[in-house]
Amino acid sequence: MVVTHHHSCTLCEATCGITVTTDGDRVVDIRGDEHDPISRGYICPKATALADLHHDPDLFICIGANPLVSNGSLMTAPNMRRRLKMLRGRGGRVVVIDPRRRLPGRLYTKDRKIHLAPGEYLGDLDRLRGRMEAWAPGELVLIGRRQLRSSNSWLHNSARLVKGKPRCTLLVNPADAERYGLADGEPAVLSSAAGQVEVPVEVTDEMMPGVISLPHGWGHGRPGVWLGVASKHAGVSINDVTDEQFVDELTGTAALSGQRVTVRAVGPPPSEAAWPAASS
């Protein structure tokens, strides 16, 4: 029997509203819940992965910082006994992860250094270089960023936390700003295969050439948003230029950072031949 459930995404603190359509034990559809008073139908690409978690034959129970049933929590938190019975029926395992038992021992390394560059990452660099070399002239790498006074979209409806100069800005290296005719504080058009937004530029040498950054969690100016303060500091949503089909090949997960984009000053788009060659 096909049933629609109204729930919250459990993957991060934003707890976006979702509608989950199930057919028996199968999740057949997950989408944003338009009736959720906060998220009002918007979800990030991660939410659709909840179906994969639900269908995983093993159940992971994470104890510690987030004492939730992390796998299958859509159905199981209120219905643990039934879920465990189903899992046993299909030969699944219950894996209890308790980080408290592993810490601080897991943090210690033989050489007493923190290993920031595991072999798997280093071995993937050639593929990444090749990927960037295949990009068209004028294409840049878009990364997100976290901000001290923000937690996803949560804190943007607090006047004390959003006051001051606009923080939803596109960080651009000075060399790229010059290359693409962008000026500090002026709007730019940021485009990808997924969509396009207009956002003010902040020129800074904190970014390396070829990489630009837009913070995560903004974009409160849509029709129907009921957040009075946030709507006045709306910014734009990085999700509007995020290609949900873009996958990180090394880990096999959705890659929300490292998207391929172009940027130009507001005005008529230049012809491709007008793009200056990127510096190496």
Whose Cβ is closer to ligand SF4: residue 45's or residue 209's? 45
Residue 217 has a CB neighbour count (10 Å cut-off) of: 23
Instruction: Give the strand pairing for 170-172 and 196-203.
Output: parallel
In whole angstroms, how large is the CA radius of gyration of the chain?
22
Selected binder of ligand SF4 within 20, 27, 43, 170 (CB under 6 A): 43
For ligand SF4 (CB under 6 A), the number of binding residues is: 11
Q: Are 13 and 151 in contact (CB under 8 A)?
A: yes
Pairing of strands 17-23, 2-8: antiparallel
CB of 22 to ligand SF4, least distance (A): 18
| Cβ at position 33, least distance to ligand SF4 in Å | 10
Among 6-14, 71-79, 84-92, 176-184, which window interacts with ligand SF4 (CB under 6 A)? 6-14
Q: Which of 3, 6, 7, 15 binds ligand SF4 (CB under 6 A)?
A: 15
Binding of ligand SF4 by 151 (CB under 6 A): no
**Contacts for 98 with CB less than 8 Å, ≥ 6 apart:** 63, 64
Interface with ligand SF4 (CB under 6 A), residue from 29, 46, 174, 221? 46
Q: What separation, in Å, do the N-terminal and C-terminal C-alpha atoms of the chain show?
A: 58
Question: Which residue in the set 47, 140, 170, 263 belongs to the binding site for ligand SF4 (CB under 6 A)?
Answer: 47
Name which position in 20, 27, 30, 44 contacts ligand SF4 (CB under 6 A). Answer: 44
Task: Measure the CA dihedral 229/232/238/244, to 10°.
Answer: 70
Give contact residues for ligand SF4 (rule: CB under 6 A): 9, 11-12, 14-16, 43-44, 46-47, 152
